[in-house]
Amino acid sequence: MKKIVIILCAIAMTAFGFAQEKVSFQAEIANRNGDVIYIKDNKNAIVKEIKVDKSGLFSDKFDVKDGFYVLFDGQEYAQLFLKPGFDLKLKMDAKLFDETLSYTGKGSGENNFLAQQAISNEVFGTENFTKEKDAFYLAFDEKKKTDFEKLEKGDFDANFKAQVKKNMTQEFFGMQMEYKSSQALKNVVGKAAPTFDYENHAGGKTKLSDLEGKYVYIDVWATWCGPCRGEIPFLQKIEEKYHDKKIAFVSISVDEDKDHEKWKKFVTDKSLGGIQLFADKNWYSEFITSFGINSIPRFILIDPKGVVLSADELRPSDSKLQEKLDSLLN
């Protein structure tokens, strides 16, 4: 879902053309990722840099136009709706980010709606994309009805309500596309996996066939993806636990070519283990499209004969993954 959410956020960040006035913004961030947060506009231009003060708060007043913006803490993004005269206070834990976003003050209603909607959409996908068609659309129709009712009944800014209504319509269309993609994956499981031949960070290239005789746990990720980076510490622990077992851990980056050096530096700086590969055509690489991947992180499990066991495997942060690997390897 994350990719869909990011795309829709970009669509949503249309600023309304009212006279500029100041907005007051304060953020109290536990486990912060840095000492500066950024407010960005719909062109990804920085509107304001807010530095942490001696008390550990990010606080400032700045000019805005009525509309949608993005909060960036150096690693994660969150959508904001700002309007002249808003006095907005945010609390969050950067380690969990989306799950902890909470606003108070003038403008909190609109921004809490955005935060809660993002989480609701993420949970919906997790719980429903594996369901059969009738069950999915029953849940889908109920969510669509409930979400639009919440928006209509909310005491929100009129321009906010109108724009979010348009975005939600597109978002629900995206959910249906995501569901159809997930259903298509059912046809991949139990069959020979599509192959790849990608650049290896350690040098040369690596093919899937080079790993024959081992289970292959594949992480499809990108350096810009917050949830992907969030899984890295868990993946590193799993790699360490199974380093002498009959399993290969492969990370395939779908970063664009322009970020190739960024990927190389990231892998080096973070001491990433396993087999680090760079897909030849990012999202459009044949291996990626064969699995219908349009959101990341995505994890794939292939058996020693090259047959797909799971096209949407458990994440490293899920304790059940180790139980599954133990049962396969033992």
Claim to verify: residue 230 and residue 269 sit in the same structural domain: yes
Claim to verify: residue 202 and residue 251 sit in the same structural domain: yes
- Whether the per-residue pLDDT at 1 is higher than 50: the answer is no
39-52 residue pLDDT tens: 999 888 999 999 99
241-289 residue pLDDT tens: 999 999 999 999 999 999 999 999 999 999 999 999 999 999 999 999 8
Give the confidence band of 4 by pLDDT, cuts at 50, 70, 90: very low
Asked if the structure places residue 189 within a domain, the reply is no
Report how far residue 4's alpha carbon sits from residue 152's, in angstroms, rounded to the nearest whole number: 23
Asked if the structure places residue 276 within a domain, the reply is yes
- Whether the per-residue pLDDT at 14 is higher than 50: the answer is no
Asked if the structure places residue 191 within a domain, the reply is no
Claim to verify: residue 161 and residue 37 sit in the same structural domain: yes
107-139 residue pLDDT tens: 999 999 999 999 999 899 889 988 889 999 999
Claim to verify: residue 74 and residue 216 sit in the same structural domain: no
Residues marked active site are found at: 225, 228
Claim to verify: residue 323 and residue 208 sit in the same structural domain: yes
Give the confidence band of 10 by pLDDT, cuts at 50, 70, 90: very low
296-330 residue pLDDT tens: 999 999 999 999 999 989 999 988 999 999 999 98
Length of the chain: 330
Q: Which of 17-21, 261-265, 292-296 has the lowest average pLDDT?
A: 17-21
What is the signed CA dihedral for 152, 155, 161, 162, rounded to 10 degrees?
80
Give the confidence band of 81 by pLDDT, cuts at 50, 70, 90: very high
Residues 6 or more apart whose Cβ sits within 8 Å of residue 215: 246, 247, 248, 301, 302, 303, 304, 309, 325, 328, 329
Asked if the structure places residue 192 within a domain, the reply is no
Q: Check if the beta carbon of residue 239 is closer than 8 Å to that of residue 250.
A: no
- Whole-angstrom distance between the N-terminal and C-terminal Cα of the chain? 34
φ/ψ of 322, rounded to 5, equals -65, -35
213: alpha, beta or left? (left if phi > 0; alpha if psi -120 to 50): left
- Whether the per-residue pLDDT at 148 is higher than 70: the answer is yes
Asked if the structure places residue 190 within a domain, the reply is no
Tokens matching residue 174: 């995206």
Claim to verify: residue 12 and residue 104 sit in the same structural domain: yes
Asked if the structure places residue 278 within a domain, the reply is yes
Report how far residue 11's alpha carbon sits from residue 158's, in angstroms, rounded to the nearest whole number: 18
- Whether the per-residue pLDDT at 203 is higher than 70: the answer is yes
Give the confidence band of 3 by pLDDT, cuts at 50, 70, 90: very low
Rg (CA), the chain: 21
Report how far residue 99's alpha carbon sits from residue 120's, in angstroms, rounded to the nearest whole number: 10
State which of 184, 212, 232 marks the end of a domain: 184
Claim to verify: residue 115 and residue 227 sit in the same structural domain: no
- Whether the per-residue pLDDT at 208 is higher than 90: the answer is yes
Claim to verify: residue 10 and residue 146 sit in the same structural domain: yes
- pTM of the full structure: 0.58
**Domain span at residue 223?**
197-329
The share of the chain scoring above pLDDT 70, in percent, equals 94
Average pLDDT along the chain: 90
- Whether the per-residue pLDDT at 35 is higher than 80: the answer is yes
SS3 sequence of the chain: CHHHHHHHHHHHCCCCCCCCEEEEEEEEEECCCCCEEEEECCCCCEEEEEEECCCCEEEEEEEECCEEEEEECCCCEEEEEECCCCEEEEEEECCCHHHHCEEEEECHHHHHHHHHHHHHHHHHHHHHCCCCHHHHHHHHHHHHHHHHHHHHHCCCCHHHHHHHHHHHHHHHHHHHHHHHHHHHHHHCCCCECCCCEEEECCCCEEEHHHHCCCEEEEEEECCCCHHHHHHHHHHHHHHHHCCCCCEEEEEEECCCHHHHHHHHHHHHHCCCCCEEEECCCHHHCHHHHHCCCCCCCEEEEECCCCEEEECCCCCCCCHHHHHHHHHHHC
State which of 136, 160, 184 marks the end of a domain: 184
Claim to verify: residue 202 and residue 319 sit in the same structural domain: yes
Q: What is the mean pLDDT of residues 143-148?
A: 96
Claim to verify: residue 178 and residue 215 sit in the same structural domain: no
- Whether the per-residue pLDDT at 12 is higher than 50: the answer is no
Asked if the structure places residue 86 within a domain, the reply is yes
Q: What is the pLDDT of residue 6?
A: 42
* Count of the separate structural domains present in the chain: 2
Give the residue, 257 or 180, on which the prediction is more confident. Answer: 257
Claim to verify: residue 53 and residue 125 sit in the same structural domain: yes
State which of 184, 217, 239 marks the end of a domain: 184
Report how far residue 9's alpha carbon sits from residue 55's, in angstroms, rounded to the nearest whole number: 32
Asked if the structure places residue 55 within a domain, the reply is yes
Claim to verify: residue 138 and residue 36 sit in the same structural domain: yes
Give the confidence band of 20 by pLDDT, cuts at 50, 70, 90: low
